[in-house]
Amino acid sequence: MTETTITTPSWVQALDKYVASKPIEDVAADLGLKPEEIIMLVANENPNGMSSKVKEAVATAALNLNRYPDADAYHLQKAIAERYGVSQDWVVIGSGSSELLGLAAETVLSEGTTAIYPQYSFSLYPMVARLCGAETIEIPSTGDFNADLDAMADAVDERTRLIFLTNPNNPTGTYLAEKDILDFLDKIPPTVMVLFDEAYVEFLEPALRCDSMEIVRLHPNVMVARTFSKAYGLAGARVGYGIAQPGLLSMLNRVRHPFNVNDLSQIAALAALQDQEFVEKTLEVNRKGI
């Protein structure tokens, strides 16, 4: 392999490429198995397939792809806003919630700034932060593998611009109590963005979930990020959404590429949002562990 002669920032040179798992067919061939004999757990995908309503919606939409998609995913954005009782300018749609994590980083981070995240959390947090030239600070977890909120708050200084917090957490499966989250947020300066990642929130029993919409109403520096990849079974469509106050989103939307979510994915997510029966079935299967 020849080395490139192009000039790249030092922080790009220091990054490693994200290593995704091999296609299941290749893994099966390596192991001398059939693909259907393998249970893939690596990406927390939905084992129940996807909603049949999504299949119908996408099949129809696939016949009409001559137009660009709506640049803001208008219909999906509206449906999510209605579901959570916020106005549409509180909602941003991303190509997976991963894109939203990256956009949050690009919006607030640069060389000389830092991002804080808990140990044993999603590997993308330090990646997207370092990509912006920022330094990352990993805060050791508590003895029971949860985020150490006190230590995270103590680590904030004048260089801090972004904090990642996950609830419930991947990969530990731990969750944070609402009171602890509220106490934590009260300690964070309003100049620091908090990305509250709720990719798995549907899997928490309702009594254990915190009122994230109230958190966003109280804290103009917080963005909640959720995804259609897990409970809704749409990992392949790459759709996630963020909810935050319009001031924060007006900055983030300057960084976001228009047309970032393709037409089929917008339509798939809208149909998935309207099929709560599928989500309930997923949660039931997950609860039983079958």
Ligand X SMILES: Cc1ncc(COP(=O)(O)O)c(C=O)c1O
**Which stretches of the chain bind ligand X, using CB under 6 A?**
43-44, 96-98, 122, 166, 170, 197, 199, 227, 229, 235, 240
Strand partners, 4: none
Strand partners, 116: 137, 163
Q: How far is the CB of 39 from ligand X (least distance, A)?
A: 17
Q: How far is the CB of 20 from ligand X (least distance, A)?
A: 11
Amino acid at 152: M
Closer to ligand X by Cβ: residue 161 or 238: 238
Q: Which residue is nearest to ligand X (CB)?
A: 96
- The single residue listed with the structure tokens 């660009």 is 68
Closer to ligand X by Cβ: residue 126 or 240: 240
Q: How far is the CB of 158 from ligand X (least distance, A)?
A: 28
Q: How far is the CB of 21 from ligand X (least distance, A)?
A: 12
Spatial neighbors of 211 by CB under 8 A, at least 6 apart, are: 178
Closer to ligand X by Cβ: residue 14 or 43: 43
Q: What are phi and psi of 104, to 5 degrees?
A: -60, -45
Q: How far is the CB of 121 from ligand X (least distance, A)?
A: 7
- Residue by residue, DSSP assigns 131-162 as TTT-EEEEEPPPTTSS--HHHHHHT--TTEEE
Query: Pairing mode, if any, of strands 240-243 and 160-166?
Result: unpaired
- Residue by residue, DSSP assigns 199-267 as TTGGGS-GGG---HHHHHHH-TTEEEEEESSSTT--GGG--EEEE--HHHHHHHHHHSPTT-S-HHHHH
| C-alpha distances in Å from residue 65, one per residue of 71, 163, 263 | 14, 38, 7
Q: How far is the CB of 2 from ligand X (least distance, A)?
A: 33
Identify the three-state secondary structure at position 79.
helix
- Please state, in angstroms and rounded to a whole number, the distance separating the CA atoms of residues 9 and 18: 18
Closer to ligand X by Cβ: residue 173 or 190: 173
Record the tokens describing residue 268, joined without a space: 């798939």
Closer to ligand X by Cβ: residue 98 or 260: 98
Q: How far is the CB of 147 from ligand X (least distance, A)?
A: 12
Closer to ligand X by Cβ: residue 113 or 227: 227
Closer to ligand X by Cβ: residue 142 or 170: 170
Q: How far is the CB of 36 from ligand X (least distance, A)?
A: 23
Closer to ligand X by Cβ: residue 6 or 20: 20
Strand partners, 125: none
